[in-house]
Amino acid sequence: VAGRAAHNPLHAHRSSSVGSRIRGGREGAAGVSYLARREERWWRRQSNSTGWGGSLSGIRSGRRGRGASKEGRVMSSSSARDEEASARASVKRHEYGHGDVKLFGYVAEGAATASRPRPAVLVVHTAIGPHEEFIMDKLRRLAELGYVAFGVDMFGAEAVVLGEEKVRYNKQFKDDRKLLQSRILAAFHEAASLPFTDASRVAAIGYCFGGKAVLDLARSGVEGLRASISFHGILDAPVELEGTPITARVVAFHGSRDPFIALEDKLSFHSEMESRCRGSKKWQMVEFGGCYHAFTRPDKTQESDRTQGLFYDEYAAEKSWAMMVDVLAEEM
């Protein structure tokens, strides 16, 4: 699919309460990190120039773009209770653990989750951690669709990680894929154990590093996982993990110009999925022509980003999200 680069996202919305927590943590008196400041300026600039800053529900009602009509169709088929939940989606901090490691995730839910168990969707962060608006936006949008959205924390840091700290947190999982799978399984079981979650209907989506994590979750064959969806994630299969049959639906979105995914990686992933997935329709790989790594991130719009192989593409971001919504509706 031919991608088209652009500079404005479909959904520009901020949460002051969650944002204040994101801006806290290790940054302390020094304020937010460079990345957080840059992203915050970007969101404010978009809100001022487009008037989108007030309400997600207004955007979804049909005033904006392709993604709105897709999600509108999903919401139109929901009950009145689900529509009420859409207007009340909130994100709350949720602490849990993995062994001796304390983790700082998030849960987003609507009013309907309190009345009956709902399917859950794990959202796994990029290489900088979950404590940023990019992840908060995904959690809110999923909650507005009627899901329990669980923001996974793979690192145990209380703020975004950058520089050497970022390298250290990511290297431990690159060196030990058993640890990565064990950590994402801990998040899966935590989300499934929530009193308002239907443990038999859980899915996971992930971005970049998180894409690798949700693919390894699918590779575990854990019962109750309905779908794992990777956005510009790393595709390589861990050699140290057993070749368990994959029973969940697997979808991988990536860009044709992603410098982190070589042709041989795509071919290996294809062979792996063909041999491990049960059913001919259980996996898909969707490539967006002309798109780079991080094509879903609206803060990646500078030429300096492009030279690093990172660049936002509005069409690919909206289209992949809409396709994900369809997959969740089919599998959950």
Structural domains present in the chain: 91-330 (3.40.50.1820)
Alpha carbon 76 to chain centroid distance? Answer: 24
Distance CA 158, CA 150 (A): 16
Helix (H) / strand (E) element for 197: namely strand 197-207
One pLDDT digit (tens) per residue for the chain, 332 residues: 444 444 333 333 333 334 433 333 333 333 334 444 444 444 444 444 333 333 333 223 333 334 444 444 443 444 444 444 445 678 999 999 999 999 999 999 876 555 689 999 999 999 999 999 999 999 999 999 999 999 999 999 999 999 999 999 999 999 999 999 999 999 999 999 999 999 999 999 999 999 999 999 999 999 999 999 999 999 999 887 777 889 999 999 999 999 999 999 999 999 999 999 876 568 999 999 999 999 999 999 999 999 999 999 999 999 999 999 999 999 99
250, containing H or E segment: strand 249-255
Q: What angle do CA 292, 282, 130 make, to 5 degrees?
A: 45
